[in-house]
Amino acid sequence: MKINILGAATTRFGELWETSPRALAREAMSHALKNADLKPQQVDALFVGNMLAGILGNQGNLGSFFAEELGVSVPAFHIEGACASGGLALHNAINSILAGQHKTVMVLGIEKMTDFNQEDITSGLMAAGSDEERQAGATFAGIYALMAQAYMQQYNVSEELLSSVAVKNHYHGSLNTKAQFQNIITIADVMKSTRIADPLKLLDCSPISDGASAVIISSENIGDVSNPVSITASEVATDTLALYQRESFATLSAVTRAASKAYSKANITPSDIDVAEIHDCFSIAEVIATEDLRFSKRGEGAKDIAEGKYTLGKGKIITNPSGGLKACGHPVGATGIKQIVEITEQLRGQAGSRQVKGARIGLTHNVGGSGAVAVIHILQT
């Protein structure tokens, strides 16, 4: 059975102080419907990806909450998997269609973070960590810093090479009118920014963001199908919550396993990918991902990024043309769906100044926690 993307839309990401979660959801869902040329009554079910509404906003009934906003009484589900909540929501929506339960499904990814103070947000995000990490007072910046230290030591990689990730993604973000940060930065800017958890600096870290994204998928060709895009693989894998229980800090086994299954399911190889949205919550995350996805050889991810292998106008495989989490923003529940929206627009040839020329096959890489869950989707025209 073919899974078609009928509509895709995203709000602007950023510090959206004057916009409520309802308003964010309304914008994303209504624009996705318009993009698909559908009415709300043509949607059979709603899946919502969100991490923090129950922790920070005291609202745990998000399926019904946003079905009400959509204006329909349909089966509605809230899916939570840390920063991979959006990707997991889409995975479950796809499976509901493959199981024959639904034909046309909307998936909403949403998060409202900036209304809360830094301490509450940091604590809420660490709900995705292990008991031991929380008891030790660890944050995800600290955990990814340990990964960066291990990687840099193992492969003799400098901080300057690591900084090239943020430089690339800010350049791409400067081309995206919906990105939280649209400014170009340099390696010198990254290097002189405040150290958060050595060796990670402020400009190595994705920001706190608000935003919503929505996609409509279907087993049928309805609405506007003039630019057809299909999801040919949707795979999930998991690993231990705690970093210390893993064999290596320089790879995420959940990603390698999910990616291998996705390539096999879509009957492609990594070299067939034209464009990818990668979960660059921290600079080291994209470096490791380029290797786990087999775009780069082990130990060469940072060098390849610095040399422009994944930059618009230079590389064969373009990563994070949206600006990634670093520049586009990271409203955690929305990120996995925003990635799908970006790849859909790329494959439809609708990405404007950030368009990857001739893109026909795209991949999204959505990670929860420090790699405890990974979701890989492959999209094709």
Write the pLDDT tens digit of every residue in 235-264: 999 999 999 999 999 999 999 999 999 999
The torsion angle over the Cα atoms of residues 119, 123, 125 and 128, rounded to 10 degrees, is: 170
Task: Kindly tell me if the per-residue pLDDT of 225 is higher than 70.
Answer: no
Distance CA 367, CA 373 (A): 6
Token pair listed for 308: 């422009």
Distance CA 124, CA 301 (A): 31
Which of 91, 170, 330, 377 does the annotation list as catalytic? 330
Task: Kindly tell me if the per-residue pLDDT of 145 is higher than 70.
Answer: yes
End-of-domain residue from the set 188, 218, 248: 218
Strand partners for 230: 4, 380
* Same domain, yes or no: 100 and 22: yes
Residue type, 282: F
- Sorted by sequence, the CB contacts under 8 Å of residue 205 that are 6+ apart come out as 141, 196, 281, 282, 326
Query: Taking all residues of the chain, what is their mean pLDDT, rounded to a whole number?
Result: 96
Task: Kindly tell me if the per-residue pLDDT of 224 is higher than 90.
Answer: no
8 lies in some domain: yes
* Same domain, yes or no: 103 and 146: no
* Same domain, yes or no: 88 and 148: no
| Secondary structure class of 201 (helix, strand, coil) | strand
91 and 340 Cβ atoms separated by less than 8 Å: no
CA separation, residue 375 to residues 7, 252, 295 (Å): 21, 12, 17
Residue ranges of E strands in 153-209: 195-197, 200-201
Determine whether 205 is an active site residue: no
pLDDT of residue 58: 86
129 lies in some domain: no
213 lies in some domain: yes
Which of 31, 78, 83, 170 does the annotation list as catalytic? 83
Q: How many structural domains does the chain have?
A: 2
pLDDT of residue 1: 83
